[in-house]
């Protein structure tokens, strides 16, 4: 039977007291769909907490194609890779659904860390976990090719957004074949062909334009990911 494992977002892992302290150090903002919070290659200045909405993180490939890396949602942090270093921003962050966020300057957060060790540790764990998640995603692509990358993305969407639907897992996001292609670094035609093959084998189906995973164990077995920590297998 397909199981849905829900990941607790970063903000929800904090105590109520530390949630309040963190919000006091940020500035509440509203961002419309289509807004870009920061671009790859810019100087890192701000970190954002998503209170509601969705933000997509991407990189530009050497041949100037957009490669989607993460899709963050309520209570996730973005921009944490700029903490503790002076590196330039490594990804572009785009608002894909009207969002409410809290914006923190890097200096303000680092000063908070000196006062509150619990929040500092939480951010360090978040940074490590997200770094592992990105590395694991690239590992799946390098070791198992485009097909493995597709399976990996479906599993990650399941862990991040999946809901139980009878004995299956529904991903309640209207993902186009082009968007899926951008997540696995391939063409729309290739992504469409691989998805059609999964439909023919009854591994997935489509329900109201949403992907329904009917046999997630098949995907996991291909990637040999039974022992992978679910915390790093997210999108």
* pLDDT (tens digit per residue) in 164-209: 999 999 999 989 999 999 999 889 999 999 999 999 999 999 998 8
Residue 2 lies in a domain: no
Same domain, 129 and 167: no
Q: What is the dihedral of CA 205, 211, 216, 219, to 10 degrees?
A: 90
Last residue of a domain, one of 104, 135, 166: 135
Q: Where are the alpha helices (DSSP H) in the chain?
A: 10-13, 16-24, 106-115, 117-161, 177-184, 188-200, 216-223
- Specify the pLDDT at position 5: 59
Question: Which residues are paired to 174 by β-bridges?
Answer: none
Same domain, 178 and 218: yes
Task: Report the alpha-carbon distance of residue 210 to residue 229 in Å, rounded.
Answer: 26
Same domain, 131 and 148: no
Residue 121 lies in a domain: yes
Residue ranges making up the domain that contains 166: 144-232
Same domain, 25 and 92: yes
CA 210 to chain centre: 18
Helix H or strand E encompassing 29 = strand 27-31
Same domain, 126 and 101: yes
Report the CATH number that the domain containing residue 188 is assigned in CATH: 1.10.10.10
What is the residue whose two structure tokens read 């291909």? Answer: 222
pLDDT in tens, 103-114: 999 889 989 999
Of 93, 59, 90, the residue nearest 77 (C-alpha): 93
pLDDT at 142 over 80: no
- Specify the pLDDT at position 119: 94
Q: What is the average pLDDT score of the chain?
A: 89
What is the residue whose two structure tokens read 């949602």? Answer: 73
Last residue of a domain, one of 98, 117, 135: 135
- DSSP at 44: P
Same domain, 33 and 129: yes
Residue 1 lies in a domain: no
- Specify the pLDDT at position 134: 82
- Specify the pLDDT at position 128: 84
Q: Give mean pLDDT, residues 65-84.
A: 87
Residue 3 lies in a domain: no
Q: Give mean pLDDT, residues 41-55.
A: 93
Phi first, then psi: give them for residue 62, nearest 5 degrees. Answer: -65, -25
pLDDT at 162 over 70: yes
pLDDT in tens, 21-38: 999 999 999 999 999 999
Q: What angle do CA 14, 19, 21 make, to 5 degrees?
A: 130
- DSSP at 7: P
Last residue of a domain, one of 135, 159, 187: 135
Residue 5 lies in a domain: no
Same domain, 123 and 159: no
- When divided into structural domains, the chain yields a total of 2
Same domain, 50 and 115: yes
- Specify the pLDDT at position 225: 74
pLDDT at 152 over 70: yes
Task: Report the alpha-carbon distance of residue 59 to residue 20 in Å, rounded.
Answer: 33
Report the CATH number that the domain containing residue 58 is assigned in CATH: 2.60.120.10
């Amino acid at each position: 039977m397909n199981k849905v494992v829900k990941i607790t977002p970063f903000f929800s892992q904090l105590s109520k007291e530390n949630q309040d302290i963190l919000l006091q150090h940020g500035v509440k903002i509203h961002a419309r769909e289509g807004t870009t919070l920061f671009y790859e290659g810019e100087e890192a200045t701000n970190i954002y907490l998503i209170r509601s909405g969705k933000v997509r993180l991407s990189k530009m490939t050497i041949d100037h194609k957009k490669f989607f890396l993460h899709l963050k949602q309520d209570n996730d942090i973005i921009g944490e890779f700029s903490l503790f270093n002076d590196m330039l921003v490594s990804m572009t962050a785009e608002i894909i659904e009207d969002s409410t966020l809290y914006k923190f300057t890097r200096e303000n957060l680092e000063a908070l860390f000196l006062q509150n060790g619990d929040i500092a540790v939480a951010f360090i764990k978040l940074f490590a976990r997200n770094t592992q998640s990105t590395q694991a995603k690239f590992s799946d692509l390098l070791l198992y090719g485009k097909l493995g990358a597709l399976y990996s993305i479906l599993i990650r969407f399941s862990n991040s957004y999946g809901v139980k639907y009878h004995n299956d897992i529904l991903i309640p996001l209207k993902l186009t074949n082009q968007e899926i292609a951008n997540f696995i670094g391939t063409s729309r035609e290739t992504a469409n062909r691989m998805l059609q093959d999964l439909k023919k084998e009854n591994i997935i189906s489509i329900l109201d334009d949403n992907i329904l995973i009917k046999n997630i164990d098949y995907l996991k077995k291909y990637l040999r990911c039974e022992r992978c920590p679910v915390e790093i297998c997210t999108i």
